[in-house]
Structure 1
């Protein structure tokens, strides 16, 4: 009696452990489908072990408790299949109908077999040869266990494919959780196969199941702790062909063959308890082997051993290059390229930390966009940072030696540049190698090859974006022909109102009619312009540069704002040498930036403009206390059709950047959501450019007539030309 008591206590403890884990998941993440599925699985495990423990305590009701445990075990295959689906990306999960229906079918079959179990068609009392009694299977009793074997094999194969399809650092987070859940499935397959071979329920199965389940639950809990109870999705499609071609079926087939041999030996030797304990040892060894197989530290040790003893160089460059080309297949966007790069680096270089930093075009600072472990927002690095300064000048790795450097504080030991179109676009930050080693020539050569390949891919991605932007411009250019025709007619209406106002301006009836016409025309023009998401802009050589007084230009722009009481306007500096530029274009840039700041602060706020000189350039800084710009928009703010304002056309800042760069200047934007935005514009001074003024021709951005338009648009005339006539003056009331 003492041994069953200890068996039942072990089962009670495991049931409590699984129940606490299930409740924790439901309380902390009730809205997560993945964690709900895991909680359901853990709940069924808790009920099964609780029923087994109660059956050992109350032997008179042992058959009823065994039935209750069997009901919980029949739910586990469907629950584990839903857990596997929970790891998939939500979009792929909804489109993967075959996997969803497979889980539903397994669930329905489990409920059907539950009915057979409840009505008493599965278990019965059997008298043994030594006059004892035991719970045995009936003629139909093997059906539920066949179902458990098939259902758990499907679930285990699905978990295997999820783990194989995952990439670093996602695999680093979920491997222990998947291995733990796979261990639960593996033991259920073992237990079901034992019942099919020896259809008698034995008490020692409770102890063996409790030990194995506790080991698997510990792995699962550790894996959940690694994810911080957050959803971890894998971009994988679990197709039926991939599922049935899984290694799981090969392993399970070999396992069932081995179980048949063990079962036959069991009949002959009659040593159930000793065999059961050996099963625990074998299970632990298998789980440990799987964990080691997916450990990058162990893989690094094996690679280091082979390199020292069998290879001339540290890396097999032919195999590595094949791995590089395969890794970047179908990676067309910058985001996809960076994802594949991080996964490739983690597999290639065993290190304590690893990250990728990219230059943001809007503020010309470097930000960490990918990391092996850390999920915290990174600190930005200025172009003046010592490491960035060296990477800008040299195409060589930079070893971090300064202990006060924030990169070294984050664990970085080596930085390697990535250049696209000759410009430093990003860099790789590697931590210290494992086992106290250093990065050698072989490592740097391999990194150089990878970075050059990534730089070429980023250049192609940038060219693809430019081609797409050009296609958008061309399409909208053609569409603008029709809009310009309508705008021409609306402008003619306003022109008639202005001309008739000279004669009828004092007439109240005319005033009322004119206001209605102006209001209606303005509404139609606004509606018409809102249809254009992008203006067609092409450079046309129109004007020669001249000396432009920037402070005077800004003073004229802000003159209408001075009367607003709630807008606190502040101008500092105000003295600067003139710049050699096209005045209308510079006016367009400053007007756009200042109006953007005014619209950002709304009815009340601070708007400051600083004018000064720095490094041979006039610097204009416009700063507001408005709502700020989200970081996701800052990444692509200077691209066509990208706007931070609802209803914006997405052309203003794109146009500003083109104009400023055509003048040899720069424009930077720094913003924090909820705090405000700062725009910094640099334009070179007139000194040194006077000799080039005869040849310098800058682009003036204006709408161009389409090839399908027979005549120039009313808005395409150049300076010095008279605008086309719209219509003869007609009294407003006669129209």
Structure 2
């Protein structure tokens, strides 16, 4: 149909390159924006069409190649029509129906071309171009006037594509043959529309504004490009030295290349050069001076000590280093407000530790608390009137190359401050830099305050643990004192009774052994390890200890030889306390009984009494609350300790009580295989 030529190859090559670049500009946000997806698909289809035409143009004498070119051309047209229909159709069903119609029309044109009915195929192509122009006109007309500035270049670009197609196929339909010059120039004409589409994509909020190249990638690419240009220049200089150097040319070339390579390595590892390049890129290639997402991620990772980053062991040092990296500062120091009155140094990074106290820091502290400014040290020295006549403390001025004083704010109050050293490169201290330092300081203050709260909570827990252990020991001593008091009260009446004397000696020995055990545990702060216990024997000992009380408890062992895993002394204390409460709540002519039985894989100890009972509200709100007791001399931790220990060994404590009827405590413990 059409003869190949260098003009056709060049024309369609330019089109392929132009729309490939436009697709790269759009690919950054294609997942987030549907309009950008449709435009990206149309650009890719156009690029494929141009590239395919470029490759197949040399085989124009082969019918299959001509048909392939027609198929690619129809694919391009269908992609642009689908893009317009995607913008205009409001419902998914309408879009699918319209795109299906376009696809059928393209298949019809391809079928007519395959059958040799070129006139019909050209007519179909002309109708598709007219449809495209109508859709472009509807797109512009339906766009509100206030938003047309964002779509007018897109309408011009897409409209130009269909106008050229309309002119090409209308002439072919009239003259019954394709104009070769127009066909060859079609690629360049389409390529001229790509800049208009790129400008429209940058303006329209629903399209991708451009290729999202991260600052790190651009920094690395710039460094590699600079290194490549440097090496090429040095190679050219070395070649020149070899050419003019005569016998010494090779030696001069190798010496020059070696020195150039060493200089390049030194430059690549230079922190100052890297900082200057980073500032240059941020200043000239991006609207914002910082990549806030990347800076915030680096700050968060540094404070949480996650991933690769700063080799700083402590949180305070990491906070300084994280804030210093924002402005390319090589060192810093941190002060915190102690006791709400005075700034005191906490840590330093790449700097000597400041003086222990800053007695002349009251003015600076008041200024930072009131103004919340980021202070430039040199500016404060030159123009103190701008800072209310404040003079910086000597502890700050004594630091080498002190540059900035950034406040650490926590809930609107001054928590501390960070002093940073002068940066490796010149950085403009504008509002953006100041705001970033302030918000980073607030994040660092939150982390430091959280760490202080954790440390204070750990200390409080240690005191709480010690107090709790002391309370339990005092509670056990109270029970022992009660037993000894009761023994002493009965001694006057029964001291001549040999049986009472024997029981008194046994009780005294038991009480002394218990007090020794308590003192040893209190001194060592340890707890005995759980061991397998015969529960019936523990109950027999607990009931025997209360046998002298009235009413004396009665023991009934339904299922014997039940073994549990627990600490004998603590389990005896739990059962003894529950028995003691039952006896105290029951009249002397009442009944207190203890029953041991098995339920499935658990051992159940039921302690029943016919005492005064408890209400459901009392059980729910007061019974298990520590330090809440109805007894005059009670401490209110016995039942709480009993429940906590039973939970610790995997059991539980159930209670059922009826006022004026009685109470039943159920101690449920998991069985341990003997």
- Tell me if TM exceeds 0.5: no
Larger radius of gyration: 2
> How high is the TM-score relative to the length of structure 2?
0.32
> How high is the TM-score relative to the length of structure 1?
0.30
Q: Which of structures 1 and 2 has the larger relative contact order (alpha carbons within 8 angstroms, sep 6+)?
A: 1
Q: More helix per residue: 1 or 2? A: 2
